Amino acid sequence: MNRNIHLLQEIQAAYAEKYGLCMFTTDYQKNIITDVTGENSLFEALHHHYNIFSKIADISYETWGITKSVVYDLWPGVYTIITPVHMEDGRSFYIWSGLFIYEGTEQLVQEGIKDQFINWDEVAVLHTEEKNNLLETMKTMADIAFLCLQEMDETEFYQKKTKLLQQINTSKTMNDLLNSLITIHPELDFLGTASKYDEDNVEITGTAGKEIEVLKGKKFAPGEGLLGRVLVTNQQEFWERTDKDPRTILFHRESIYPKSLFCFPIRQEEGLDMLLFGGSFKKETFSNKSAELIRLLIAVFEAGYLINTLQRENSTHIVRLQALTEIGKLLAATPDYKRIIYILVDISMNLADANFSCVVLKEFQTDAMKLISRGNADGLEKYAQEVAKRYYRADESSQSPTIREIESGQNVIECPLFYRDKLLGVLCVGMNENEEMIEEQLHFLQTLSILGGVSLQLVVQEEDGAEDKQIHALFRAVEQFDKSEYRKLREAEQLAFEFSSVQGFALPMLKNITNACRLSYYSSEFLEEIIPNRKVTEILETGKALLNSNKSLSWDEADICAQVFALVMMYVNDQNTDMYKTIDVEIAEKFQTYLQETKFKEVELTLSPDEVVAEQKIESVESTIKELNLSPREQEVLDLVIQGNNNKEIAEQLYISNHTVKNHVTKIFQKLEVQDRAHAISKVYQLKHQSS
C-alpha cells in the first residue's frame, strides 16, 4: 500500500508543479493520505494563518454526491478544485487543487480578505477560458489516481480473502462460523442456513444478524419463494432490489425487507440438501468484488461444514482436524504457488497414510502440464498423462472427488482443485485400504483440496494483478508529460509483443519484454523501488547498456529478453533496419527478417486518369478475424481486444454492458482454444502469417 501512495504522491507532485497549484488527497473519512505538494503563495499564506485543513474538515463535501471536478470557494473569491475518485466498493477519495482567483476579481478579493501577509503579485489568476482545460486535466489525473488507489483496494480485498480462509478452522460450531463470516464481508447484514425438516418442509436452522433471528425455526416448502426455488433448481442465485419482491414473503411476514439476497445450495451427507443464504438491508446490488467474496465465503462455509461433520461423526478424527487447522493457517500464510503444491502432496501422503500422492496441474504462467509427486507407484507418469487428458479435455467436469482403480489394481482418490469453476489441478492419492476406510479418507482429502484450490487462486491473483496495475499506471503517466515519447513506447510495446509471439516465446518472457518497453522512460533505480519484478529492471539495465554501446557488455553476453528489448528500441528510435547487420547474434537476423516481411512501405503516387487501376487492399488482421468461426459481435469484440482495449472501453464503444463483454470474451477464448487475451492475440497473428 505504501508503494502506491508513494506513486500517487509522485504523480500529484508532477501535476502540482506543472500548473502552479498546491495539491493533496483526502479519503472518504476526510483523512489526508498524501503530503501537500507544489508551491502556491496564496495557499501557503492562508494555510499559515487559518489552517486550511481545519476549514475543509468542516465542509460536508463527502455528502454532495459529486461525480466530476467542481470549483469551490474556500473564501469569497478564493477557489480550489475538488476532484472525486470513486472506487468500485463505494468508497471515494478527493484530490484538492488550489488556490486561485478568477481574472478580474483581484481588487474585490483583496478588499474582502484585507490581510497584509499575502503577496498579491504572486497569486495564481485563472482566466475564464482556461477553466474547462484545467477541469479536464484534473479528470485525467483522477483516472490515474484511480489505478493507484485501486491497487490499495486489491490489497485490502486480498486481506479479506485471507481472513475468510482463516475462518475455516477458527469456529467450533456452524453458528460461530456464520457470525465470524458476516464480520468479514463489508456489505452483508445477515447470513442464515436452512435444512430439510421432512419431505415437505425446509427449516431455517441458523442465523447471523439480529434482524433475522426471528426467522430461526421458520419453515417453508421446496419451490416456495426465492429460497425454496433454489432447493428445486439446485442453482446458486443472486437477487437485487428485493425489498418489494413478493417472492420474499418469508421475510416480509416478519417485517424484514432485505434489498438484496443470495442463496447457494450445499450438499450434505446422506443426500440431504442445505441452503446458505444472506443479504443486505442497505445495498440494492452486488458489486463484482462483493459477489466474488460471497463465493469464497460459500467455499469457506462448505469446508467448515465438512470439518464440522467429521467432528460430529467420529472423535478419532480430532487429530486430523487439528492438522487441517494448521494446514489452513499454513496455506493462508504461504505466498508461493509451488510451495502450496508441495504442502498438499506432503500432507495428503502422510495424514492419509498413502502409497503415493501427486498433483497434476497446468502451470498458470506457461500452460505446461506438470506432475509433482511423492511415493512409489508403477506407471505413475503414464497415469498422470491419462488424468491430464480426462480433466483438461473436459471429459471430467465434476468438482467432487472420485475413486478410480488404476492398472496396478490400486485405488486412487482423485480430488479436483477448483476455484469457482476454474480447474487448477488434480490431487491424486493412491490407497491400499478397504472400501470403508477409503470413504473416510475421501472427506479429509476433499476438504484439503478445497483449501488448496482457494489458496492457489489467491496466490495467482495476488501475483498477477498487483504488478500489472502498477506498470499500467506508470505507463499511462508518461502520456501526461511527454506525448511523443508515449506514442513511441506504445509502438515499441506492440512491436515487441508481435515479434515475441511469432518467435513462440513463453508468456512470462513475452510479458517481461513488453513491460520493459512500456517502462523504458523511467530509470532502473526508480523502478526498483516501485516494481518488485527484478526481471523487468534487469532487462532494462542490460538492454540500455546494449543501446549505449557499452564496451564492457557484448550482445552475445546479454540474455535474449534484453536483446529483443534493445532491438525494438533501436528500430523505434531510428526506423532503420540496416543497423542490425553489424550485430552478430541470431535474434538480430530474425528481427531484421521479421521487419522486412511485415512492415509495409507507403508512398503516394500521382497517375494520369487512364493509368489509375483498381486499388489493391492489403489484408489486415480484420480479414483474418472474419475467417474465424465467430459471430459478428464476437468478431467486433476480438478486433477491439487486439487494439488493446479493456472490457470497460469495449463496452463503451459497442454500447453494451461489461457483463456482456465478459461473456463474449469467454466464448472467444473457448472457440479459439486459448486461456487469455495474450494467447488470443498471438493466435490471430499466427493465423494471419500462416495464410499470407
- Indicate whether 470 pLDDT > 90: no
pLDDT for position 607: 44
Span 523-544, pLDDT tens digits? 888 888 777 668 888 898 888 8
Span 345-376, pLDDT tens digits? 888 887 777 888 899 887 655 567 888 888 87
Percent of the chain's residues with pLDDT above 70: 81
Domain boundaries, the chain: 2-148, 336-453, 482-598, 609-691
Inter-residue contact 273 to 279 (CB < 8 Å): no
- Indicate whether 114 pLDDT > 70: yes
Reported as type and span, the H/E element at residue 71 is strand 70-75
pLDDT for position 564: 92
Mean local confidence (pLDDT), 145-167 = 67
**Which residues is 425 bridged to in the sheet?**
361, 417
Mean local confidence (pLDDT), 124-137 = 88
User: What CA–CA distance (Å, rounded) separates 539 from 514?
Assistant: 10
Cell 487492399 sits on residue: 617
Homologous superfamily of 336-453 = GAF domain (3.30.450.40)
- Indicate whether 610 pLDDT > 60: no
- Indicate whether 430 pLDDT > 80: yes
In Å, what is the CA distance from 498 to each residue of 594, 681, 689?
10, 9, 11
More confident: 581 or 483: 483
Range of lowest pLDDT (278-287, 374-383, 396-405):
396-405
Range of lowest pLDDT (116-125, 235-244, 336-345, 602-611):
602-611
User: What CA–CA distance (Å, rounded) separates 369 from 365?
Assistant: 11
- Indicate whether 271 pLDDT > 70: no
Predicted confidence band of residue 251 (pLDDT cuts 50, 70, 90)? very high
Ramachandran angles phi, psi of 616, nearest 5°: -100, 115
- Indicate whether 309 pLDDT > 50: yes
Inter-residue contact 240 to 213 (CB < 8 Å): no
pLDDT for position 616: 37
User: What CA–CA distance (Å, rounded) separates 253 from 158?
Assistant: 38
pLDDT for position 122: 86
**What cell does 533 get?**
519484478
Where b means 16+ CB within 10 Å and e means fewer, 574-597 reads eeebeebeebebebbebbbebbee
More confident: 491 or 460: 491
| Mean pLDDT of the chain, nearest integer | 80
pLDDT for position 231: 85
Report helix, strand or coil for 389: helix
Q: Please determine whether the domains at 2-148 and 609-691 fall in the same fold group of CATH.
A: no
- Indicate whether 189 pLDDT > 80: yes
Judge if pTM exceeds 0.75: no
- Indicate whether 24 pLDDT > 60: yes
Span 573-608, pLDDT tens digits? 876 666 666 787 888 888 888 887 765 444 444 444
Cell 478486433 sits on residue: 639
Mean local confidence (pLDDT), 187-194 = 88
Span 622-664, pLDDT tens digits? 778 888 888 889 988 988 888 878 888 888 888 888 888 888 9
User: What CA–CA distance (Å, rounded) separates 604 from 455?
Assistant: 59
pLDDT for position 658: 84
pLDDT for position 618: 34
* Sequence-separated (6 or more) residues with CB below 8 Å from residue 259: 240, 241, 242, 243, 279, 280, 281, 282, 283, 284
- Indicate whether 243 pLDDT > 80: yes
- Indicate whether 611 pLDDT > 50: no
Span 40-72, pLDDT tens digits? 888 988 888 888 888 888 887 766 778 889 999
CATH number of 609-691: 1.10.10.10
CATH T-level fold of 2-148: Beta-Lactamase (3.30.450)
* Sequence-separated (6 or more) residues with CB below 8 Å from residue 374: 345, 346, 349, 356, 357, 358
Mean local confidence (pLDDT), 311-337 = 66
